[in-house]
Amino acid sequence: MNELPIVVTCTDRKTSPPEATLQARALPKTGLAERAVEWARRLHAVPGPRIALEDLYQGDQWRRAQALTKAASQAGFVPRLYVASAGLGLRPVSSLAPSYAATFLPRHADSVASSSAQATDWWDHLQRMDGSCQLPQIAAAAGRALVVLSETYAAAMHRDLAALAATGTETVLIGGACELDGIVRVPANAALRHALGGTRTSLNVRMAASWLEHCTPGHLITPSARTRWSDWVEQVARPERYERRPMTDEAVIDFIEQSKDSHPGSSRTRLLRLLRDQGMACEQKRFANLYTATIGPR
């Protein structure tokens, strides 16, 4: 059947707000194992509707992730899309869940871990929940996998990725955190943004779509496809030049106030990154002071 499991990361933007109890910031300040057990209990017990994950997430990154299934079909595969979530573990996008707020991003209000080691342990707890899938088994059953992960999520899932590499399954990792013997890794490359368009947050999924376009039909990895990819990258890559426009304090404050509504729960660091992705300039300490004056300490 030429099935291709595709794993992508979730997004912090949801189509409905989570209940207060399903925000990681509301978990008790106990040990990680206790918090993980409590989180699983709340996911199961919270009232209200469950939403298919494909309809729960939103934003450019998620739209691009969903579009990978079309690119995979055109490349001769039968795609199966899975989402890696700091709140749910690894699940098919057809599975149902309540809205929630949880992330591996450090210093975020709803971060579930304060270090890479904690993130890895939290992920292991998530994978014991009902409904979570095991990446090595999914990939081994299909004989291949396309995994598209940010550095943060790849670090949290390192044990799963190492186990996947050990199976010898044909796997391409777009983005990721490190090289693994047995997996073809294509690191995130900001120099491709000019050719692929979009923001940095959607770069990995855009690169994954391009990889599929360069594939030999029905084959995820071939020498000729890798050569076509390398030649294309060499032709189109353009190192980014940061020529950002300066902003007044008033303009920065306006941006912060608008962003807290459009990106609820986002950390100060993430908002500064969004501002800079729009070609604007603001020194980190100055942004921190304006953020605190506008929203308060977080």
More confident residue, 272 or 142: 142
List pLDDT tens digits, range 170-212.
999 999 999 999 999 999 998 999 899 888 889 999 999 999 9
pLDDT at 240: 64
pLDDT interval class at 23 (50, 70, 90): very high
Can you give the pLDDT at residue 273? 82
Tokens standing for residue 88? 């749910």
| pLDDT class of 228 with cuts at 50, 70, 90 | very high
Question: Scanning the structure block, which residue is given the tokens 């902003």?
Answer: 247
Residues 58 and 13: beta-carbon distance below 8 Å: yes
Please state, as a whole number, how many other Cβ atoms lie within 10 Å of the Cβ of residue 198. 14
Express as a percent the part of the chain with pLDDT over 90.
Answer: 71
Element housing 80 (H / E): strand 78-85
Residue 10: which of 102, 110, 129 has the closest Cα? 102
| Surface-to-core class of residue 48, CB atoms within 10 Å of its CB (0-12 exposed, 13-18 middle, 19+ buried) | exposed
> Mean per-residue pLDDT for 217-227?
95
The answer to whether the CB of 143 falls within 8 A of the CB of 5 is no
Quick check: 242 pLDDT over 60? no
pLDDT digits (tens, 9 = 90+) for 43-64: 999 998 999 999 999 988 999 9
| Distance (Å, whole) CA 100 – CA 120 | 20
Q: Which residues contact 159 (CB under 8 A, 6 or more apart)?
A: 120, 123, 124
Q: For position 246, what pLDDT does the model report?
A: 84
| Three-class SS of 199-236 | CHHHHHHHHHHHHHHHCCCCCCCCHHHHHHHHHHHHHH
**Model confidence, pTM:** 0.82
